Amino acid sequence: MTKRNSILTGVSRAAELHDEMGLRDKLKDGSKAIDVFAVIAALKVMVLFRPLEGLLGAYVPTPNAAGMLITTQRNLHIQRFTASHELGHHVLKHHAPSLDLNVGFVARGEKNGHEPQEVEADAFASEFLLPAWLIAAHARRQGWGRAELKRAEIVYQLSLRLAASYSATCWALASAKFISQADANALASLPPKKSKMQALEDVAPPSWHPDVWVLSKRDQGSQLIGGPDDFLVLSLEEHSGGGYEWDMDPLPSVGLSVRADQRIDKSAEPALIGSPITRRVVAQSSAPGRTRLKLEERRPWEGSGNAINRVEFDLALWGKEPVGLLRPERMLAA
């Protein structure tokens, strides 16, 4: 079997599993990422997280069951991709055990040789987590066209919504023909830190490791799979001329501390007189967990029944999986 045939086999099986699990219908609104851990649990494959040294993951088939090991030494995005790679071994019915030191090589276009079953599993992982139809759903929801998908800050935000690494998202965009390979190479060479700095503006975090989500009304009802110290930059239209304002009091109650809160008023421009202002709030998560953030725009003296706008986000800010079995709270609906 040629390498090309191995890639086609992996891609085809990933598409089949999307259909078998009904993922296209469940995720067509672009509000969630594919939850590979929930799929693995549904297929009754045992997952164990261990501090593996020099190893990203392993797949161990047995006559009566199958299991996989995933490292705890890498971040959530790499854990998810590794889990998807091991899932590929399982659904492609690979009978030989696999010890995986490297994943993502198919998406990166590496030319060095790999065993056919490794190529199949890696092609499966890329297609399963980052299919063109899911990228298109998220881009459509956000109003991002091909021009926007050539901008590093947009690709970074897309990667967060897909719960994938920034570089993997660059390669996936090229694979799906949304951008050229040259554009993907140029984007992948840019560190996400610059996009984080652009999003946070004058807020300086003690570390640039946390991710920075830029959220708007377009993200209504979305699920955020991220880390326990991630930043949320809320950018919401506010009708202050009518006495309405967004109530930000719920933020501390769900473990979010406000780092900045400002109103950006463009009404001084003649063409925008009387227009709403933008409420920009920067908040940071302070602890791992899963909760729902609900915000309302209303007059301060009126009750919640009089809100003119509402937004709600499902915050799954657990971060990477710890040592042990798959955390039950992380098993989100696929």
The answer to whether 71 and 106 are in contact (CB under 8 A) is no
Instruction: For residue 333, give every residue at least 6 positions away whose Cβ sits within 8 Å of its Cβ, in sequence order, or none.
Output: 26, 35, 38
pTM of the model: 0.93
The percent of residues above 90 in pLDDT, for the chain, comes to 83
Q: What is the mean pLDDT of residues 191-200?
A: 97
Residue 65 lies in a domain: yes
CATH value at residue 20? 1.10.10.2910
Express each pLDDT in 52-73 by its tens digit: 988 999 999 987 788 999 999 9
Residue 332 lies in a domain: no
The answer to whether 38 and 311 are in contact (CB under 8 A) is no
Report the domain count for the chain. 3
The rounded distance, in Å, linking the Cα atoms of 285 and 290 is 11
Express each pLDDT in 290-308 by its tens digit: 999 999 999 999 987 899 9
56: domain range? Answer: 3-129
CATH value at residue 251? 2.60.40.2020
Radius of gyration of the chain (CA): 21
Q: Are residues 229 and 242 in the same domain?
A: yes
Residue that finishes a domain, picked among 190, 214, 232: 190
Structure tokens at 272: 């925008």
Q: What is the mean pLDDT of residues 154-181?
A: 97
Give the chain's mean pLDDT. 92
Whether pLDDT at 271 is above 50: no
Residue 122 lies in a domain: yes
First-to-last alpha carbon distance for the chain, in angstroms, is 33
Long-range Cβ contacts of 169-173 (<8 Å, 24+ apart):
169/130, 171/104, 171/107, 171/108, 171/109, 171/126, 172/107, 172/126, 172/130, 172/135, 173/135, 173/149
Q: Are residues 94 and 172 in the same domain?
A: no
